[in-house]
Structure 1
Amino acid sequence: MPPRWPRKPDRNDPEFRKLDDRMNFAIHVAIFAASNSGIWFFRNLTAASWPWAIWVTGGWVSLLLIHGVYIFVLADYGSTTKDSA
């Protein structure tokens, strides 16, 4: 069941932005898992030497770690104030 939001979704809402960023991170992890499991499955199936598979996986894991640190540690989801000019 998809998450339900009790009010109109607005990217300026800190709680919605936090939830949206975490769902976005979960999608990135799922795409990483599906893609890399396919790469390593076919690498082992063909018994071919794919040296680039290590670099793709390592680079992607690094990017996911950076993304995760930002989302779960560094991101500030404090209330945003709009300037009424």
Structure 2
Amino acid sequence: MKGFFRLLGILFALITILMGLFLLAKDENTADHAIRSWSIIAMSGALIFNGGYYYLKDRSKQGIVMTSVGAVILIMVLSVFPF
């Protein structure tokens, strides 16, 4: 289970980095709100899964804080993001 959480955390972090690079390469006038929202969702996924990994690894408070912050950010973005 720890390995699965770690793998998902790394994948979400890579998606976040790639979307950020894509936004940097795009023209400012054509930057899309949806791409920014999806990158924030990917970032919160990375926080949730990496926090879950650290919690399962050491039962540390750091994992709980990371997971909680990721969940709060995810809820905030999903409440504003139009589907």
TM-score by length of 1: 0.46
Which has a greater percent of helix?
2
Report which structure shows greater RCO (CA 8 Å, sep ≥6): 1
TM-score by length of 2: 0.47
